[in-house]
Amino acid sequence: MTGRITLFVILLCLFVQSEVFSQDSDTISAPRTGGSRTTVNEVVKDSARLAAEERPRIAVRKSAILPGLGQIYNKRWWKVPLVYGGFIGIGLVFEFNQRYYQIFLKEAQYRELNPGKSQNPLFAQYSREGIISIKDSYRRNRDLSILAGIGFYAIQLIDAYVDAKFFRFDISDDLSLKIEPLIQSGTIYNASVSSPGIGFKVKLAL
């Protein structure tokens, strides 16, 4: 289970890295008359397009330096509490499991050096094998919480990238769908005439 989570986190990080640091070069073929050779000239992009293409890299870079900063850059302020709430929750889970892991680790070490004795009277009812099993369970949950923190860090990077990627697209509510009746033209004896028919015309305004 831990290996699968680790592999998933690595794949997420590789995806973000490949998307952030890759840059496509749009080119067109433009033959020149200077001899028998033909050269390929790059398309000149305007400043607005260059700025739009640079937004995802800037957003991911900011979120990598400080989680939530990319969301602020994308003007998604409401996501910042979610980002830090997730980190705080994962941190609390880590602290809980780490604390009890240390408690049961000390108990297991004491019993290893003092067979038949218990350091903490509350654990006297547990066998040595039971103490070791509980200790291992808290350690496993602690390690999973670390992986969850890394995965959540990668997710907020991807979120910043996606928001910046689609920043220039119109995703507002100013969309409309109109359905209107349509008078269809029919053909009678090879003559085109206007005859009423059942039909609808759909208009989607973007």
Residue-wise pLDDT for 181-204, tens only, equals: 655 555 554 554 555 555 556 555
Note the pLDDT of residue 38. 44
Q: Are strands 200-205 and 176-181 parallel, antiparallel or unpaired?
A: antiparallel
Tell me the pLDDT of the chain averaged across its residues.
76
Q: How far from 95 is each of 108, 139, 140, 143, 178, CA to CA, in Å?
A: 20, 11, 13, 11, 56
pLDDT band at 120 (very low <50, low <70, confident <90, very high): confident
Q: Are 200 and 180 in contact (CB under 8 A)?
A: yes
Counting every residue written for the chain, the total comes to 206
Residues 6+ apart with CB under 8 A from 89: none
- In this prediction, residues 126-143 reach a mean pLDDT of 94
Q: Which tokens go with 134?
A: 């509980």
- In this prediction, residues 158-177 reach a mean pLDDT of 71
Nearest to 133 by CA among 111, 94, 101: 101
- Spell out a b/e string for 1-20, using b for 16 or more CB atoms within 10 Å of the CB, else e: eeeeeeeebeebbeebeeeb
